[in-house]
A and B are shown apart, each in its own frame.
Chain A
Amino acid sequence: KAGVTQTPRYLIKTRGQQVTLSCSPISGHRSVSWYQQTPGQGLQFLFEYFSETQRNKGNFPGRFSGRQFSNSRSEMNVSTLELGDSALYLCASSLGIGSSYEQYFGPGTRLTVT
């Protein structure tokens, strides 16, 4: 079974631009979560989607948004990029909703904002 895939793997953007990251979960997984990882803060939860509905959202500004499609694929968008948005963005999928389900992480998208 193929793992979680994320595209693109690397991205360089300029401050003020917007970016869209994509995540394809493991086949059969209906829950997708997004995280931001920085050296100083570690992993921070962005949002979680299940059956095309956002189920939970972390403490991030409204510039960060996401969606999930009927095939469970998910995208996240960051508008008006700031230097502090430079990070590794990780997507994780799980079979169902709830923290008792094991999460499987993708390789991440490394975003650099200049």
Chain B
Amino acid sequence: KNQVEQSPQSLIILEGKNCTLQCNYTVSPFSNLRWYKQDTGRGPVSLTIMTFSENTKSNGRYTATLDADTKQSSLHITASQLSDSASYICVVSLGENYGGSQGNLIFGKGTKLSVKP
């Protein structure tokens, strides 16, 4: 069964600290993996998209890694800020031979991050 599991479910850190969020998937065939940030009451915003051949991608203080062999990804946040408080969602896309549709995205349930002053 195609699944995306994220851990931890929730996390509280102090402002200025680093943190790492985990995403394990059992999706096949794999096309790409995305990390989204969703502020409360808003729609998700894309942070990174990685294909099979990419193992690291950065977007400012956010760095995503992908290990396609172990089917694991992580999102590392450096020097956290209060504005990083949000849910972070990992999304894995099935390969295009599944018909090429956004309906072939498998969503994790997200990690809720709270950054405290």
Chain A contacts to B: CB under 8 angstroms: 4, 31, 33, 41-45, 47-48, 55-58, 90, 92, 94, 97-108, 110
Contacts and interface: CB of A to CB of B under 8 A. Distances in A.
A45 B103 contact: yes
Interface string B80-113: 0000000001000110100111111101111000
B60 interface: no
Contacts of B102: 31, 33, 45, 48, 56, 92, 94, 97-99, 101, 103
B49 interface: yes
Contacts of A45: 102-103, 105
Contacts of A99: 31-32, 93-94, 96, 100-102, 104-105
Can you list the 10 inter-chain pairs with the closest CB atoms, starting with the nearest? A105-B43, A56-B103, A98-B100, A99-B93, A42-B109, A56-B101, A43-B107, A33-B102, A45-B103, A105-B44
Contacts of B49: 102
B103 A48 contact: yes
A58 B43 contact: no
B110 A106 contact: no
A77 B108 CA distance: 26
Contact of B100 (A42, A97, A104, A107): A97
B45 interface: yes
A100 B31 contact: yes
Contacts of A47: 103
Contact of B108 (A42, A58, A110): A42
Nearest to A97: B100
Contact of A42 (B42, B89, B94): B89
Most B CB contacts (10 A, CB to CB) among A57, A92, A100 go to A100
A41 to B, nearest CB: 8
A31 B103 CA distance: 12
Contacts of B93: 99-100
Nearest to A3: B43
B63 to A, nearest CB: 19
